[in-house]
Structure 1
């Protein structure tokens, strides 16, 4: 009796998951970078965080490293560090800048 194995879709599923994670990572990092570029430089000093140039460098390097890793590197160390840096910017620095520009204060 001959048994046949079911088709193996492991590579296709792995590629799709890695591709979706990479796209999500790049979108989050791009949103953070674009927001950082459009902000005034003195606002960063007013809320007591890194200067604008430092945030621009961190976010730009993270995007480049994510792109260089390709879809296989989407779950790699540099990509995860890039997402972490972008989320720190979006969840910590961005609300402070928004509150500062609204005049409500960030405290």
Structure 2
């Protein structure tokens, strides 16, 4: 088996729990926290993370569904890198 295929398979199986984490995090946040940080609504982010997680689980990066898999990965990572820290900070309040 080629090394690039092994690496893609490792990334593929590691991305699914990351997507589930993003989905659960979005589900557990208050609805008013998302507009407070100038982001889309909670329902929109739930849809984005759910669709992204579904794409990560259903499509394989080694096959014909690679484009959908990458789109799902990007959607989940945008939530984790951009939205999650801001939503978490606004709910924590001021830091000293």
TM-score (norm 2): 0.81
Maintained 8 Å contact 1:25/1:79: no
Change (3 A) 1:71 1:87: closer
Task: Note the residue ranges of structure 2 that are not aligned, 5 or more in a row.
Answer: none
Maintained 8 Å contact 1:29/1:59: yes
Within 5 A, what are the aligned runs for 1:39-50?
39-50=29-40
Q: Which residue of 2 aligns with 1:88?
A: 78
CA shift, 1:24, in A, is: 1.8
Q: Which residue of 1 aligns with 2:15?
A: 25
CA RMSD, Structure 1 to Structure 2 (Å): 2.1
Task: Note the residue ranges of structure 1 that are not aligned, 5 or more in a row.
Answer: 1-8
Aligned length: 94
Q: Which has the larger radius of gyration?
A: 1
Maintained 8 Å contact 2:19/2:56: no
TM-score (norm 1): 0.74
